[in-house]
Amino acid sequence: MRTLDELDVEGERVLVRVDFNVPVDDDGKISDDARIRAALPTLRELRERDARLLLAAHRGRPKGRDEKLSLRPAAERLSELLGEEVALAPSLDDVPDGDVVMLENVRFEPGETKNEPELAKRYAALAGAYVNDAFGAAHRAHASTEAVAHLLPSAAGRLLEREVTTLQGILRDPQRPLVAVVGGAKVTDKIGVLSAFLRRADRVLVGGAMCFPFFKAQGHDVGDSLCEEEGLEPARRVLDGGGEKLRLPSDLVAGRELSADTEARPLDGVDVPDGWMGLDIGRRSASGYAEVIRDAGTVFWNGPMGAFELEPFAAGTRTVAEAVAECDGVTVVGGGDSAAALAQFGLADRIDHLSTGGGASLELIEGKALPGVEALA
Ligand code: ADP
Ligand code: MG
């Protein structure tokens, strides 16, 4: 992968693909600007190296032009953070001059998600070099992430570079023991990651609703727990091949329904009675996981241990998050909800690497090639 060290940018207008797909409230306010801030090192470096910036980004999944998914809020926030005016280009045919210009949502262009060469040519005509810093979009082969990279001198931005080296580093040469903590809602979302870590990690700790297909496969009662039916077969395969490394919870916290004021009670064991749902891992499981995590040389965590958004079911995720924060080894966290959990507990700045790309980080861990990264090889 070529990096910014190998790209001539002085005096050029550089097309920079960034991931500014940030949450915006109804009144147009950005509720979390982490992705914009994550791009600042690259943007500042390019400005210091005397480049002019033409930024390209997507927001949401528009079908054609849709003012509600304009990048104007992102352009305004970037302008505050960068301390420079950021002009928004209304269309590809109407790109204003200026040191920092941002294109409208690239997904307003019908060819963008089809990776259309004609559209890529129009992007390339606007700049003298291309930098991709949008790790969160690197698993997609789109015109602004893939095709355009072949048409200009191109390189990875600092964020993309750090994401790829950190995540590949965990796979290739981790400090041991390597502990993977995998949770979240659906086992089918995470099955590739589970398999990858069962090959490479020393311990794989499983939590969240994705436990229930495992428990069901083992013959336990899951009650009304969220239990993905399509997850049963994959869970069975993992159980057959998992061996000693794989750990599932041994106790749970159950609730009547998915709400904060529901009746809640601890379960000593993993059989969930009818009329109850398992909504968190239990105290014994959480402290057992925490012990393993604190002693790890490397931790990769993706997916909460329970319905952490609801206070009665947050303890398992909090215990795990605190252990990751306290671990002296290399700590890496991926996944939007896992990042939200860390923020909720005030622990986000105690993690070595908080990945900005959910899907992209999982695909990289699974060993898949990311089209946006391959194009920079
Ligand atoms: P990430 O975004 O970190 O990859 P996921 O999207 O896979 O994580 O899963 C997060 C969601 O799973 C959260 O909204 C959480 O409330 C939910 N969840 C986790 N465990 C349970 C459970 N036992 N029952 C219901 N929902 C759960
Ligand atoms: Mg999620």
Over residues 53-76, the pLDDT tens digits come to 999 999 999 999 999 999 999 999
Q: Which of 367, 374, 368, 332 is nearest to 200 (CA)?
A: 367
Among 35, 107, 216, 318, the active-site one is 35
User: Rounded to the nearest whole angstrom, what is the distance from the C-alpha of residue 338 to the centroid of ligand 2?
Assistant: 8
For 231, list phi and psi in degrees, rounded to 5.
-85, -10
| Contact between 71 and 88 (Cβ < 8 Å) | yes
Answer whether 79's CB lies under 8 Å from 60's CB: no
Q: Which atom of ligand 1 is nearest to the CA of 212?
A: 23
Q: Which of 2, 47, 336, 350 is the catalytic position?
A: 336
Q: For residue 320, report the distance from its CA to the centre of ligand 1, in Å.
A: 14
- As a whole number of angstroms, the distance between CA 197 and CA 312 comes to 30
Give yes or no: 35 in active site: yes
The span from the CA of 372 to the CA of 133, in Å, is: 10
% of residues, the chain, pLDDT over 90: 94
- Is the CB–ligand 1 distance for residue 112 below 6 Å? no
Instruction: Name 170's bridge partners.
Output: none
Residue-wise pLDDT for 133-167, tens only, equals 999 999 999 999 999 999 999 999 999 999 999 99
Q: Is the CB of 43 under 6 A from ligand 1?
A: no
Q: Known catalytic residue: 336?
A: yes
Q: What is the pLDDT of residue 358?
A: 84
Strands of the 87-89 sheet, one edge to the other: 87-89, 100-103, 52-56, 13-17, 129-132, 154-156
Closest CA to 183 of 193, 169, 174: 193
The 3-state DSSP composition of the chain as helix, strand, coil percent (nearest 5) reads 40, 15, 40
C-alpha 33/C-alpha 277 separation (Å) is 35
Average pLDDT over every residue of 18-42: 93
Q: Indicate whether residue 303 lines ligand 1 (CB < 6 A).
A: yes
pLDDT tens, position by position, 210-266: 999 999 999 999 999 999 999 999 999 999 987 789 999 999 999 999 999 999 999
Mean pLDDT (whole number) for 30-38:
92
Are 334 and 190 within 8 A, CB to CB? Answer: no
Query: Rounded to the nearest whole angstrom, what is the distance from the C-alpha of residue 105 to the centroid of ligand 2?
Result: 23
**Any idea which ligand is nearest the CA of 228?**
1
Mean pLDDT of the chain: 96
Alpha carbons 367 and 168: distance in angstroms, whole number: 9
Find residue 375's DSSP bridge partners.
none
Band (pLDDT 50/70/90 cuts) for residue 310 is very high
Q: Is 77 considered catalytic here?
A: no
**Rounded-to-integer distance, Cα 328 and Cα 345, Å:** 19
Nearest in space to 363 (alpha carbons), one of 136, 39, 169, 161 = 136
Residue 303 has what DSSP assignment?
A: S
Distances (CA, A) of 174 to 70, 165, 239: 41, 12, 25
How many other C-beta atoms can be found within 10 angstroms of the C-beta atom of residue 68?
10
Cα separation, 142 vs 24, whole angstroms: 23
338 C-alpha to ligand 1 centroid (Å): 9
The model's pLDDT over 317-373, given as tens digits with 9 standing for 90+, comes to 999 999 999 999 999 999 889 999 999 999 999 999 999 888 899 999 998 999 999
pLDDT band for position 38 (50/70/90)? very high
Nearest ligand to the CA of 252 is 1
277 CA to centre of ligand 2 in angstroms: 20
Q: Strand, coil or helix: what is 377? A: coil
Does residue 359's CB lie within 6 angstroms of at least one atom of ligand 1? no
Q: How many CB atoms lie within 10 A of CB 274?
A: 8
pLDDT in the model for residue 244: 86
Cβ–ligand 1 distance for 336 under 6 Å, the answer: yes
Q: Is 27's pLDDT higher than 90?
A: no
Spatial neighbors of 265 by CB under 8 A, at least 6 apart, are 253, 254, 255, 276
Q: Tell me if residue 68 is catalytic.
A: no
CB of 231 within 6 A of ligand 1: the answer is no
